[in-house]
Amino acid sequence: MLRFADPDITGLLQSGDPHPVEWVNISGRSAIFLICEHAGRAVPSALGDLGIDPEEMDRHIAYDVGAEGLARGLSERLDAPLILQRYSRLVIDCNRPYESDGCVVRQSDGTVVPANAEVAEIDRRRRFEEIHRPLHAAIAAALDDRQAGGGPLFLVTVHSFTPVMRATGARRDFELGLLYNRDARLAERLADLFARANPHVTVKLNEPYVVDDLSDYTIPVHGERRGIPHVLIETRNDLITDDRGQREWADRLAASLRLAAQSLEGSV
């Protein structure tokens, strides 16, 4: 059963603020269901500029650079439904549980976010109720409908990562990460098929980080709890900053995703 927001702690989003959820190709026929939790950079008008310089909103700390274009390309190529989330992860990270410190970050890759430094619990809850909860309610309802219809179902979340962390100088010297926690079925199959088709691309499993119940929300809640084969895709963002890169990577990933899903359909 879906839980509805407490009317006593709503009121963040105002007229003119975008709805947090955007549907793309809602009636897509593919067994693959796509999600992009960090697609947008919107900030509720009530929060102003979050106290940071405008150029910070162009960095990976604000959104997953190139991920929206890549996700839209995958949706088109696979005829797959896609849910996009419109607000910046600096407002609230919709791939973190409420209890996580990363849900509303005070600092990200060396940048302090003044609007989040002393955020009151009631304000943190408002962000969750009005942005995070509607996204995941929409995902849950859509997956309920798909599972009720029978047939195979695969959950794919689309992300990107920065090649260099500003705060530490750490470098990520690979192009594609495929992440999972308890269920490796789709990630491992996709890694194998993608590597065969793209031998000059470095693919790593569970890099640049590992999915778990404290640092992630979508995979544990919508993938693992339902028993749906799933993968979190991380593409290095300097490869998908423009239309050309997004098209190229959508072509590559769509071909391997289609084969991976087809090869697993008999086992789910």
* DSSP codes, 9-46: G---S-TTSPPSEEEESTT---SEEEEETT---B--GG
Query: What b/e string do you get for 146-184 counting C-beta neighbours within 10 Å, with b at 16 or more?
Result: beeeeebbbbbbbbbbbbeeeeeeeebebbbbbbbbebb
pLDDT at 265: 87
pLDDT in tens, 24-73: 999 999 999 999 999 999 999 999 999 999 999 999 999 999 999 999 99
pLDDT in tens, 151-178: 899 999 999 999 999 999 999 999 999 9
User: Which tokens hold the place of 124?
Assistant: 């943190």
Show the DSSP H helices in 149-198 as ranges: 185-197
pLDDT at 98: 97
pLDDT at 1: 28
pLDDT in tens, 135-155: 999 999 999 999 999 989 999
The CATH number of 7-267 is: 3.40.630.40
Q: Domain extents for the chain? A: 7-267
The answer to whether residues 154 and 261 touch, using CB atoms and an 8 Å cutoff, is yes
pLDDT at 10: 65
The answer to whether residues 237 and 160 touch, using CB atoms and an 8 Å cutoff, is yes
Q: Does residue 8 have a pLDDT over 70?
A: no
Alpha carbons 105 and 119: distance in angstroms, whole number:
10
pLDDT at 2: 32
The answer to whether residues 98 and 128 touch, using CB atoms and an 8 Å cutoff, is yes
* DSSP codes, 188-223: HHHHHHHHHH-TTS-EEET-S----TTT-SHIIIII
Q: What percent of the chain has pLDDT over 70?
A: 95
pLDDT at 11: 87
pLDDT at 7: 43
Nearest to 34 by CA among 22, 42, 45: 22
pLDDT in tens, 228-266: 999 999 999 999 999 999 999 999 999 999 999 999 986
pLDDT in tens, 206-231: 999 999 999 999 999 999 999 999 99
CA gyration radius, the chain: 18
DSSP-derived pairing of the beta strands 107-108 and 154-161: unpaired
pLDDT in tens, 89-135: 999 999 999 999 999 999 999 999 999 998 999 999 999 999 999 99
pLDDT in tens, 61-89: 999 999 999 999 999 999 999 999 999 99
User: Which tokens hold the place of 242?
Assistant: 């423009």
The answer to whether residues 67 and 246 touch, using CB atoms and an 8 Å cutoff, is no
Residues 6 or more apart whose CB falls under 8 angstroms from that of 62 comprise: 41, 56, 88, 89, 90
pTM of the predicted model as reported, rounded to 2 decimal places: 0.94
